[in-house]
Amino acid sequence: MAKSSRSSGADPAWRYAGTLDDVWEGEMCAVTLGAVDVVLCNLDGELVAYRDSCPHLANPLSEGDLHDGVLTCAAHEWQFDAHTGQGVNPASACLERYPVRLDEDRVFVGIEEDQ
């Protein structure tokens, strides 16, 4: 069973991002929520969401690879711990994370109103 994840910050607007059938365990998928592109990752049943943009040159992370909990950008192979968003290579990089909420099998991502 998938679990949701939380991020700190202001109360977000919850936007429908699909169902659990859209992002199976060990996989990721891209969704556009208003003006924000998001990559959803299902990590052993835990759902996490990040801005679908590598902090290096803004390439879509969803075009990369998710393997053993490491998200790798396709453009220049920057790597991130998909559980935390922290950079693996380079370690100084960090992804912008969004909270995720489940309502039965429906997935919602919290995006601040001004985004």
Domains, the chain, ordered by start:
13-111 (2.102.10.10)
* Secondary structure (H, E, C), 15-74: EEEEEHHHCCCCCEEEEEECCEEEEEEEECCEEEEEECCCCCCCCCHHHCEEECCEEECC
Q: Confirm if 76 and 89 have CB atoms less than 8 A apart.
A: no
87-93: long-range contacts at Cβ-Cβ below 8 A with a sequence spacing of 24 or more? 93/55, 93/56
What is the full per-residue pLDDT of the chain (115 aa) written as tens digits?
A: 566 555 445 678 999 999 999 999 999 999 999 999 999 999 999 999 999 999 999 999 999 999 999 999 999 999 999 999 999 999 999 999 999 999 999 999 999 876 5
